[in-house]
Amino acid sequence: MLVLTGATGFFGSHYLAAYLVQRRHDRVVALGRDSPAVARERLKSALTATRWPIDEQHLRRVKPVQIDLADPGLALDGRVYAALASQTSRLAHLAGLMAFDTSPEELNETNVVGTRHILRLAEAAGRHIRLLHISTAYVAGAGTTGVVREAVKATPGPSLTRYERTKHEAELLVRRYAQRTGRTTVIIRPSVLATDSLRQPSAPRHPLQALGAAARQLQLATARGTQATPFAPTHPVTARVHGSPESSLNILQVEHAAQALVELTDAALPHRAGPEVIHLVHPRGTPVPRLLDALVPQLPCVRLTMAEHLDHPTPLENAMRRLSRGAHLYTHLRHTYDRTNYHRVLWHLPDPPRLTHPYLLAALGTHASPCACRTTNSPPLHRSP
């Protein structure tokens, strides 16, 4: 039986929906912090927001179990814990906290301590259990260039963010578990996951959607032009985005990532002493200027440029940085991602389609915004192919 955490999250809901539709007879236990009645509602809302045709029959195969990841025994009664462990043959740990403006303690509790407690459950299960641990492609450290390998770095080194540091610490715990127990373990590293599907307000959000919402918020503030806003342009203004024009983000369609994870749940894996590390990334990075181009319709009053050094930021630039909630930390990166293990195990999966300009517009939730300035559009930074 598949047991998973994070089922109501963005990636988790797509994975679970794909799994339920394709593995027609399997039952699933969804571990989460909500009571079963609340969890069932949230699962329904999240799963039906995906592109998979989810109906009541599918939802009935999911059993929510309330847990507390902060508790070593997951706050379960000993009998329930034992029964859960004995039935678990696949354990997918997707729960995690992705935030850049939260306390180190909170990040540590979810991403490191939570993983430790899930590993404890994995150890209590039978020796044929397969553990699928969801990490992130952004565990490469503070370096801005180079190829990120599909391997766990032995030493942490400087990190770009506290989030990244906790995800790396969790990977080290998982690696120790795999080496100690010899059990099948896969560390999966997705990049930035997104969808161009229209989202219901109650559906779990993805990072590009959050970025688009921040741009809309900024545009509304500039359009309103009240004294409460630190800037009220009557002319188009230029704002610098701190970062390199050469930088790129790796953005992957969540539907592709979910399909890959469904395959990895059962796929034959080569025997190895440690964990298998697999990158779920797009073969081509998305240049950051192209992403900013897709924000242009939402920010018609603002002409965006990129600057390697941001001296004396304006109130608008400070507001942009605040609203981006940490995204600015990634606008200097020029990484490429190794996909050797991915190709070896998932050789039969076709590559995902290219991320076109219309895709990015849809993923950002872009639509024309009201404009108080004299011109209606800013020139694009980068012409999409």
Partner 1 sequence: MSDINDLLKEALTDSLGVPSESITPEATFEDLELDSLALAELAVICEERTGHPVGDDNINIGSSLGEVSAFLDTITTPHKDSA
Q: Which positions lie near partner 1, rule CB under 8 A?
A: 27, 29, 35-37, 40, 60, 63-65, 77, 79-80, 82-84, 86-87
Least distance (Å) between residue 37 CB and partner 1: 5
**b/e map of 117-154 (b: 16 or more CB within 10 Å)?**
bbbebbeebeeebbbbbbbbbbbbbeeeeeebebebee
Least distance (Å) between residue 258 CB and partner 1: 24
Least distance (Å) between residue 65 CB and partner 1: 7
Least distance (Å) between residue 77 CB and partner 1: 4
Q: Answer yes or no: are the C-beta atoms of 129 and 183 closer than 8 Å.
A: yes
Using the minimum distance from each CB to partner 1, give the nearer residue, 19 or 138.
19
Structure tokens at 203: 């559906």
Using the minimum distance from each CB to partner 1, give the nearer residue, 65 or 99.
65
- Residue of 171, 87, 175, 84 lying closest to 134 (CA atoms): 171
Least distance (Å) between residue 32 CB and partner 1: 14
Give the position of tokens 């605040």: 322
Using the minimum distance from each CB to partner 1, give the nearer residue, 87 or 161.
87
Strands (E) across 157-203 are located at 185-190, 192-194
Least distance (Å) between residue 84 CB and partner 1: 5
Using the minimum distance from each CB to partner 1, give the nearer residue, 38 or 151.
38
Strands (E) across 39-196 are located at 62-66, 90-93, 130-134, 145-148, 185-190, 192-194
The rounded distance, in Å, linking the Cα atoms of 177 and 131 is 10
Using the minimum distance from each CB to partner 1, give the nearer residue, 40 or 153.
40
Using the minimum distance from each CB to partner 1, give the nearer residue, 27 or 51.
27
The rounded distance, in Å, linking the Cα atoms of 16 and 30 is 9
Q: Answer yes or no: are the C-beta atoms of 13 and 197 closer than 8 Å.
A: no
